[in-house]
């Protein structure tokens, strides 16, 4: 099941008067891979908590699957929108890893073999199958992050939100998160990731939303958001384009936000140069006239 998300003119003000969201409009189509980025305090986490009812708009409305989220309790929205918190210790409560992962799907009505399959599949996806009987707080921070993700995966929600999923992860952990996003995308489930890791964002997302002071200031594919014309806007949010984007721009290749895009652009340039050399003939530089009969080659 795929569903859309629509945020319409949403304002959110905390009890202390902090205006965390200031008229946000955002539509997320079914199956999108979206990243939300911005400095701390820009409103990223506040925004995604509107989507599953943990926070409710002060003004405006949120539509989940075309229906106003205000009509549903948090438990009902949890069946549609799963959120793995930035801090796993605010999410984990059970005494065993398996019990933690089983809690969500059990509350959605899964029982017996169906519940076991959901739990086992989620634990396999995050690499924690062998730790199913461990106490979650015997795990290191990075594994607790993965456990929080597993508890959301097991629920099978059409929308999955990952808040800073790569924090504390080594290269293997980041690769697991990337594989999870790929799998969710293959299943046509919507993935929304909040991250400060611009490389991860560029490599895993097809759309990037940049927030500043509770507003959206940029919205587009990585090749657009990280392109040179948007560098001032990124700088205003204390973000920088990825290194491949910087290198590609300096080399005149256009915006190449990922290593893969940069290599492809370099190979394409090399191919064009090779074709020009081939057209010029053996030993002939492009644009240099051929030596006529009885003439020495130019430059000699």
Mean pLDDT, all residues of the chain:
91
> At 297, is the pLDDT very low, low, confident or very high (cuts 50, 70, 90)?
very low
Per-residue model confidence (pLDDT) at position 299: 44
Closest CA to 192 of 61, 38, 31: 31
C-beta separation of 220 from 229 below 8 A: no
Over residues 44-56, mean pLDDT: 96
In a domain, 297, yes or no: no
- Asked whether residue 164 falls in the same domain as residue 205, the answer is yes
Over residues 56-69, mean pLDDT: 97
Chain Cα centroid distance, residue 254 = 23
- Please give the structure tokens belonging to residue 6: 């629509």
Interior/surface letters 262-275, b for 16+ CB within 10 angstroms, e for the rest: beebeeeeeeeeee
Per-residue model confidence (pLDDT) at position 279: 72
In a domain, 287, yes or no: no
Per-residue model confidence (pLDDT) at position 128: 96
CATH number at residue 53: 3.40.50.300
Per-residue model confidence (pLDDT) at position 282: 57
- Asked whether residue 76 falls in the same domain as residue 195, the answer is yes
- Asked whether residue 49 falls in the same domain as residue 164, the answer is yes
pLDDT for 201 beyond 90 = yes
Over residues 215-241, mean pLDDT: 96
pLDDT for 100 beyond 90 = yes
Could you tell me the strand order of the sheet in which 215-220 lies? 81-84, 159-163, 190-194, 33-37, 207-212, 215-220
Over residues 179-198, mean pLDDT: 96
Q: Quick one: how many helices (H) and strands (E) in the chain?
A: 11, 10
- Distance between CA atoms of 153 and 162, rounded to whole angstroms? 10
pLDDT for 84 beyond 60 = yes
- Containing domain of residue 96, as a range? 91-156
In a domain, 295, yes or no: no
pLDDT digits (tens, 9 = 90+) for 153-167: 999 999 999 999 999
Neighbours of 146 (CB within 10 A): 27
Per-residue model confidence (pLDDT) at position 224: 97
Closest CA to 28 of 55, 50, 7: 7
Percent of the chain residues past pLDDT 90, beyond the cut: 88
**What's 191-229 look like in SS3?**
EEEECCCHHHHHHHCCEEEEEECCEEEEEECHHHHCCHH
Per-residue model confidence (pLDDT) at position 1: 65
DSSP annotation of 130:
G
Per-residue model confidence (pLDDT) at position 284: 53
C-beta separation of 13 from 19 below 8 A: yes
- Distance between CA atoms of 110 and 88, rounded to whole angstroms? 23
Among 132, 156, 180, where does a domain finish?
156
pLDDT for 136 beyond 50 = yes
In a domain, 181, yes or no: no
pLDDT for 21 beyond 90 = yes
C-beta separation of 22 from 10 below 8 A: no
Per-residue model confidence (pLDDT) at position 205: 97
Domain count, the chain: 3
Percent of the chain residues past pLDDT 70, beyond the cut: 90
Per-residue model confidence (pLDDT) at position 300: 37
> At 270, is the pLDDT very low, low, confident or very high (cuts 50, 70, 90)?
confident
Determine which of 68-77, 78-87, 202-211, 275-284 has the lowest per-residue pLDDT on average: 275-284
pLDDT for 271 beyond 90 = no
Neighbours of 141 (CB within 10 A): 12
- Asked whether residue 216 falls in the same domain as residue 262, the answer is no
- Asked whether residue 151 falls in the same domain as residue 258, the answer is no
- Asked whether residue 256 falls in the same domain as residue 233, the answer is no
- Distance between CA atoms of 256 and 247, rounded to whole angstroms? 8
pLDDT for 94 beyond 70 = yes
Over residues 53-80, mean pLDDT: 95
Name the one residue in this structure whose structure tokens are 């997320």.
28
Strand partners, 33: 191
C-beta separation of 83 from 233 below 8 A: no
Better-predicted residue by pLDDT, 299 or 123: 123
Neighbours of 95 (CB within 10 A): 10
Per-residue model confidence (pLDDT) at position 293: 46
Closest CA to 83 of 118, 126, 47: 47
- Asked whether residue 97 falls in the same domain as residue 73, the answer is no
In this structure, what are the phi and psi dihedrals at residue 202, rounded to the nearest 5 degrees?
Answer: -65, -35
């Amino acid at each position: 099941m795929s569903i859309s998300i629509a945020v319409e003119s949403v304002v959110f003000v905390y009890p202390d008067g902090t205006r965390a969201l200031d008229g946000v409009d955002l539509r997320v189509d079914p199956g999108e891979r979206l990243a939300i980025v911005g400095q701390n305090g820009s409103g990223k986490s506040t925004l995604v908590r509107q989507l599953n009812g943990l926070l409710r708009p002060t003004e405006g409305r949120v539509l989940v699957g075309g229906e106003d989220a205000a009509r549903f309790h948090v438990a009902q929205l949890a069946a549609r929108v799963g959120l793995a918190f930035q801090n796993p210790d605010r999410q984990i409560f059970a005494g065993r890893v398996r019990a933690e992962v089983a809690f969500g799907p059990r509350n959605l009505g899964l029982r017996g073999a169906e519940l076991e399959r959901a739990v086992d599949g989620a634990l396999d996806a995050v690499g924690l199958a062998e730790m199913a009987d461990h106490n979650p707080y015997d795990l290191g921070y990075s594994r607790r992050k993965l456990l929080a993700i597993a508890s959301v995966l097991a629920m099978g929600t059409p929308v999955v939100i990952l808040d800073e999923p790569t924090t504390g992860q080594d290269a293997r952990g980041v690769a697991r998160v990337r594989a999870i996003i790929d799998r969710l995308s293959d299943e046509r489930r919507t993935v929304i990731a909040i991250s400060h890791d611009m490389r991860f964002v560029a490599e895993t997302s097809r759309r990037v939303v940049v927030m500043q002071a509770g507003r959206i200031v940029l919205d587009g594919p990585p090749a657009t958001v990280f392109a040179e014309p948007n560098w001032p806007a990124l700088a205003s949010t204390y973000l920088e384009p990825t290194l491949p984007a910087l290198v590609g721009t300096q080399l005149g290749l256009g915006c190449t936000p990922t290593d893969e895009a940069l290599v492809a652009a370099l190979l394409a340039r090399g191919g064009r140069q090779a074709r020009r050399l081939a057209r010029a003939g053996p030993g002939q530089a492009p644009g240099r006239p051929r030596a006529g009969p009885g003439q020495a080659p130019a430059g000699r």
